[in-house]
Amino acid sequence: MTQLALFDLDHTLLPCDSDYEWGQFLARIGVVDSEYYAKQNERFYQDYKDGKLNIHEFLRFALKPLSEHSRAQLKDWHDAFMKEVINSQLRQEAIDLVKRHQDAGDLCCVITATNSFVTRPIVESFGIAHLIATEPATVDNNPVANYTGEVKGIPNFREGKIQNLHDWLAAQKLSFDQMPRSYFYSDSINDLPLLEEVSNPIATNPDDRLRQEASKRHWPILELFT
């Protein structure tokens, strides 16, 4: 029977936060007002780490630049972002972790609050075909049209990850009941709802609050990056 291996992305498979780094990259190349954007980016990032992020406010901020440029221009910038920022953050330890699950025949999926525009090329770099992310809305729901700056569906954050995961599994004609084991690797206290949902939660490079929770619940703690 199929086993499910779920991975958070930022600070779990990556030793950085791709959403934050994308914002910093846009500021550096002058796509957004550098001083304002960097300040707001820092504020939201701190709120996330503190477990008090207003996801809707953040997404209005994060998705706005996507709505102001063509898909072709955004792709060019993202290609540069991959080369300049992300490729050096693809660590062998994380690649090996994913490969162990793939070699075991597990169904592997990244599940992240960061939007799919930013994350899909990163996830593909790990050789993972499946991604559940916050989805940016497009004009007339045309998947190749320009972005609107709004969110399509439920933000993939906290309890929203559980709903989106169940919807994704149903689309695969699967459910938790069919799987002898389900794994979830995450660094963040924000992912506590989904960590509680799976049979095998693994606190991975955990933040201080998740580390305390994992110790209290006797969950394994994985320090992936040394």
Could you report the per-residue pLDDT of 188-222, keeping only the tens digit for each? 999 999 999 999 999 999 999 999 999 999 999 99
- When comparing pLDDT for 177 and 120, which is higher? 120
Residues with Cβ within 8 Å of 133's Cβ and at least 6 positions away in sequence, in order, are: 110, 111, 112, 113, 114, 115, 116, 119, 120, 156
Catalytic residue among 10, 17, 191, 207: 10
Beta carbons of 20 and 125 less than 8 angstroms apart: no
Predicted local confidence at residue 41, as pLDDT? 83
The CA distances from residue 138 to 19, 63, 66, 70, 105, in Å, are 19, 11, 10, 11, 34
Determine the topology of domain 4-15+90-222 in CATH.
Answer: Rossmann fold (3.40.50)
Could you report the per-residue pLDDT of 26-56, keeping only the tens digit for each? 999 999 988 888 889 889 989 988 889 999 9
- Above 90 in pLDDT, residue 177? no
Predicted local confidence at residue 37, as pLDDT? 85
d(CA 106, CA 5): 6
- Whole-number average pLDDT of the chain: 95
Beta carbons of 124 and 23 less than 8 angstroms apart: no
- Does domain 18-88 sit in CATH 3.40.50.300? no
Predicted local confidence at residue 152, as pLDDT? 96
Total-model pTM: 0.96
Q: Is 8 a catalytic residue?
A: yes
Sign of CA dihedral 53, 56, 57, 63: positive
Name the residue type at position 54. N
Predicted local confidence at residue 34, as pLDDT? 84
Q: Is 106 a catalytic residue?
A: no
67 CB burial (10 A radius; 0-12, 13-18, 19+): middle
Residue 142: pLDDT band (50, 70, 90) is very high
Residue of 126, 87, 125, 120 lying closest to 5 (CA atoms): 126
Domains of the chain by residue range: 4-15+90-222, 18-88
Catalytic residue among 8, 17, 106, 187: 8
Residues with Cβ within 8 Å of 62's Cβ and at least 6 positions away in sequence, in order, are: 19, 23, 44, 115
Predicted local confidence at residue 221, as pLDDT? 98
Q: Write out 118-185 in H/E/C secondary structure.
A: HHHHHHHHCCCCEEEEEEEEEHHHCCCCCEEEEEECCCCCCHHHHHHHHHHHHHCCCCHHHCCCEEEE
* Mean pLDDT of the region 170-176: 92
Could you report the per-residue pLDDT of 101-138, keeping only the tens digit for each? 999 999 999 999 999 999 999 999 999 999 999 999 99
d(CA 2, CA 175): 10
